[in-house]
Chain A
């Protein structure tokens, strides 16, 4: 496969902002080796590197979609710095932080709050996908196909045996109402649990 070329950092960022497959793959190919090196030098395995890189990339991914966000260093440095922060936090959590951290590359300081915000956000999306499963059939398939898998209503109607697309559409909105109910209920529930736990 021939990969399209991104000629500048700005174009690469724009590609990420627009969910461009090639841009995302390019970033992985350009910058994963550096993260892998850091993780391996500091007590991690290849799989850890992949997980951390995915998280680090998603932080960037979410941030570039935010119009307020300004990247004031290279993409490489940013991803490396985020991944570094995530891995150091992980090491601390496992209580086996190395005495000295080997730094194969330059990095900028990343706020803990950025990572926490990201974790919150990830939890939220995890919750959403769990809710989608909890809905049960046919709502789960219907909504997943439409919202996640990019199928058109006609295709869905055909695939799931609805007489026409309008029927499927009415069904979709019914399912959405149910999804909304359990999604926001659970969030409220979780927050209450969390608050109770803290108290």
Chain B
């Protein structure tokens, strides 16, 4: 084999492109001649060195090019990991911005405080359920289930209009007003008007046994409310009427709500819808809710809003307008006598 052919085969061997015949040719020659074997090893080393030289030359060239590109590098080059870090940072900043904004704007405290705000309806559902389970244990065939809710309401017009809290009646269809001061009376009533945002409902007694209340001795006050004014309420937080008194402690209600005032009357479930009277016997508001977290913080809707509501209702009604009492005939009486006069006009509102 001549040396040129031998070199060619060596190169093919180095490039791994020998076919079977060439392989045989090459290795038979090498194995036959030790001098040729040495030549072969030198050839392979030379090819190896040439390849390395090429690779390193390229590498050096690229390093030099990279040096020139470096000025653009910081703008162009961000590998994925860096990008991920950037994205995570952006996401984190946005998250904290949103959460921070919500926090500082009071969103979370609003959510939390919502739980401290309790409407004062006397919710008997749990009690009823407990009784029912007892009942069921005794008479398991009785599957009927009902619950009811009770609150307070007071008459505002002689022909059977009673005002109360909407949350007492809103989930029920059967409403009764009960009063057992002089004699037990129990009338069926219908909702004629409601306002969810103010939590007010106006009921009308729709019972054939009912004729009329007679003269309403109190009036809804349109005077300014004074801070520190003594006020009292009557309510059905239990079966019998309960008196409670305190004073006006703030012109605004829960979360500075200007439609309500805050009074320092201890209140209980069942007081909802009860009238708030001042010492002259004028109604300055209607109890609606309390703050669980603050002792004796009860909220009442201002009477001027109740007057506005009745006015707007009258503008919609064609006949049977609600005639509010214009005069207060209680101002000359002391508190026990005022109560004596009005207690028959204050009802327990039961909703089934």
Contacts and interface: CB of A to CB of B under 8 A. Distances in A.
Given A7-B80, A180-B42, A25 B69 contact: yes
Contacts of A62: 52
A176 B46 contact: yes
Interface residues of B, number: 33
Given A19-B58, A147-B54, A29 B42 contact: no
Interface in A1-45: 1-3, 5-7, 19, 21, 24-26, 28-29, 32
A67 B201 CA distance: 88
B4 A174 contact: yes
A21 B61 CA distance: 10
The A interface, classified by DSSP as helix, strand, loop or mixed, is: helix
Contact of A28 (B49, B54, B66): B66
A128 B79 contact: no
B137 to A, nearest CB: 69
Contact of B63 (A1, A24, A147, A179): A24
Interface stretch (B70-78, B103-111, B123-131, B140-148): B70-78
B20 interface: no
Nearest to B43: A180
Nearest to B4: A173
A46 to B, nearest CB: 10
Contact of A128 (B50, B58, B60, B77): B50
Contacts of A3: 76-77
A54 B77 contact: no
A129 B49 CA distance: 10
Given A5-B79, A29-B69, A180-B43, A21 B53 contact: no
A194 interface: no
A33 to B, nearest CB: 9
B65 interface: yes
Contacts of B54: 147-148, 150
A143 B7 CA distance: 14
B7 A58 contact: no
Nearest to A28: B66
Contacts of A150: 54
Contact of B56 (A125, A147, A173): A125
B74 to A, nearest CB: 9
Contacts of A148: 50, 53-54, 57
Nearest to A174: B4
Contacts of B7: 173, 176-177
Interface in B291-326: none
Given A128-B53, A176-B7, A7 B73 contact: no
Interface in B143-158: none
Interface of B: 3-4, 7-8, 11, 42-43, 46, 49-60, 62-63, 65-67, 69-70, 73, 76-77, 79-81
Given A3-B77, A53-B63, A147-B51, 9 more contacts: A6-B79, A21-B58, A25-B66, A28-B62, A148-B53, A173-B7, A174-B4, A176-B11, A177-B7
- The 4 A-B pairs with the shortest beta carbon distances in the complex, nearest first, are A28-B66, A25-B66, A173-B4, A147-B50
25 contacts: A1-B69, A1-B76, A3-B76, A5-B80, A7-B80, A24-B62, A24-B63, A24-B66, A26-B77, A28-B62, A28-B63, A29-B66, A32-B66, A32-B67, A32-B70, A54-B60, A57-B59, A57-B63, A58-B59, A124-B49, A128-B53, A174-B4, A176-B46, A180-B42, A180-B43
